[in-house]
Amino acid sequence: MEQFKKDIQFLYPDRVDETLQEIDQIMNHYRAITPSEAFKLDEEDAILITYADSFKDENESTLQTLNKLCKKYLKEGINSIHILPFYPYTSDDGFSVVDYMEVNPDFGNWKDVAELEKSFYLMFDAVINHMSKSSDWFKGFLREDPEFENFFIEENPDKEELNMVTRPRVWPLLHKYNKNGKDAFVWTTFSEDQVDLNYANPKIFLKVLDVLLFYVSKGAKLIRLDAIAFMWKKLGTTCIHLEETHRIIQLYRKIIEQVAPQTVMITETNVPHSENISYFGNGLNEAHMVYNFSLPPLLAYSLHKENVDVLTHWAQSLQLPSDKTCFFNFTASHDGIGVRPLQGIVSDAEIGKLAKIVESHNGRVSYKSNPDGSESPYELNCNYMDLLTNPNEADDLRVKRFMLTQAVMLSMPGVPGIYYHSIFGSENDEQGVIDSGINRRINRKKLEFSQLEKELNQPGSLRSKVYEMYMKMLKVRKAEKAFDPFGEAKFYQENGVFIVERKSASDTVYCLYNFTGGEKDIEKLTEGKIDLATGNNADSSLTAYEFMWIV
Enzyme catalytic residues: 226
Residue 540's contacts (CB-CB under 8 Å, 6 or more residues apart) are 521, 522, 523, 526, 527
CA angle (463 as vertex; 458, 465 as ends), nearest 5? 80
Cα separation values, 371 from 162, 167, 286, 365, 375, Å: 10, 8, 30, 20, 9
E strand or H helix at 186: strand 182-187
Encoded amino acid at 268, one letter: E
Residue 127 CA to residue 96 CA, distance in Å, equals 8
Q: Can you tell me whether residue 284 is helix, strand or coil?
A: coil
DSSP classification of residue 523 = H
CB 220 within 8 A of CB 39: no
d(CA 511, CA 497): 10
d(CA 520, CA 497): 7
Query: CA 124, CA 215: separation in Å to the nearest integer?
Result: 7
Q: How many Å separate Cα 363 from the centre of its chain?
A: 21
Q: Hey, which residues does 415 pair with through a beta bridge?
A: 328
Taking CB atoms within 8 Å and a gap of at least 24, the contacts of 23-28 are 23/206, 23/209, 23/255, 26/206, 26/209, 26/210, 26/213, 27/213, 27/255, 27/258, 27/259
Residue 436 C-beta-side C-alpha neighbours within 13 Å = 16
Residue 375's Cβ-count burial label (10 Å; 0-12, 13-18, 19+) is exposed
Pairing of strands 220-225, 121-126: parallel
Question: Could you give the CA distance from residue 493 to residue 467 in angstroms, rounded to a whole number?
Answer: 29
CA nearest to 477, candidates 527, 425, 415: 415
Determine whether 52 is exposed, middle or buried from the number of CB atoms within 10 Å of its CB (0-12, 13-18, 19+).
buried
Residues near 513 by Cβ (< 8 Å), separated by ≥ 6?
308, 404, 407, 408, 497, 498, 499, 500, 542, 547
